[in-house]
Structure 1
Amino acid sequence: MADESEMTTGRSSGLEPELGGALRSASGRSGLEPELGGQFRQEGVYVDELVCIGCTHCAHVARNTFYIEPDYGRARVVRQNGDSEALIQEAIDTCPVDCIHKVDYTELRELERDRVNQVIPVVGFPVDKAVISAQRRRRQSMMKARKNQG
């Protein structure tokens, strides 16, 4: 229902939510923007888990955005809009190995898709042994799948 001031004056207050009218005709629209709300972030945050050393600085600074993944001891983004831009930038600045990056949302989608297949070694575990143990687990799961099929 329209606001009472809008009905009497015929003008909007400017505080009504945008329902996509102005955004729909924008030339740079990617289709990933939310339709309601205030200012939107143009970039997402991504942690390169292979570079991360598990120092936990980012998770202590921006607690609603980053957390330490329990299996590998590496930082991971849990929620893109968890903290303010300033707090996220502070978390990025505290990273000693610069493994946190701001990326475009379309690139973020690709990076997250690629991350699923990464072999991430446990912090302090040599990479070559991690690769060997991951291959062993993969072979074991394939053998179990074959037994279940046949």
Structure 2
Amino acid sequence: MGIDPSVAFSAPAAPVTERSGLEPVLGGALRQEAVWVDEAVCIGCRYCAHVAGNTFVVEADWGRSRAIRQDGDSTETIQEAIDTCPVDCIHWVSYEELPELQEQTRHQELQPLGLPTPVRSRRTFPRREPH
């Protein structure tokens, strides 16, 4: 009998800790960076999702990778996923840059990958925000 894969979605990725005030979004001294995928450059190769599956997923409508959890995998695993990217579309950015980058992505013209003719010539619906 194998391990039930649904356990990965119910188990916490990191232990819950009390806020210290040093978190990056609170302006603390321990400034960390977030991982960001430039979906306009992504070719949908899925390497990052294979290496760091708790952090990256290939978005179903557009066929491009997206970072869905900042704490899904270790920094070393995320860096390995970045290093496997053949088009260098995954970047470390400051947490403060994320809202602006997400807004820019909403207005990018994208065509779904892997289809012989484009179904949509432009993103016509709001992106689903990560929870």
Gaps of 5+ in 1: 1-15, 24-28, 139-150
Equivalences, count: 108
Percent of residue pairs bearing the same amino acid type: 52
Which residue does 2:13 correspond to in 1? none
The match for 1:145 is none
Give 5+ residue unaligned stretches, structure 2: 1-16, 126-131
Are 2:32 and 1:42 aligned? Answer: yes
RMSD between aligned residues = 3.2
Q: 1:133 to 1:121 in 2, by over 3 A?
A: closer
User: Greater shift after overlay, 73-82 or 111-120?
Assistant: 111-120
The higher radius of gyration belongs to 1
Q: Which has the higher contact order (CA 8 A, sep 6+)?
A: 2
Structure 1 residue 119, shift from structure 2 partner: 1.9
- Which protein has the bigger helix share? 1
Instruction: Name segments (4+ residues, structure 1) moved above 6 Å.
Output: none
The one-letter amino acid paired with 2:45 is C
1:75 aligns with 2:55: no
Alpha-carbon distance in structure 1 between the residues aligned to 2:20 and 2:105:
34
In terms of mean alpha carbon deviation, does 109-118 or 86-95 score higher? 109-118
Q: CA deviation at 1:122?
A: 1.0
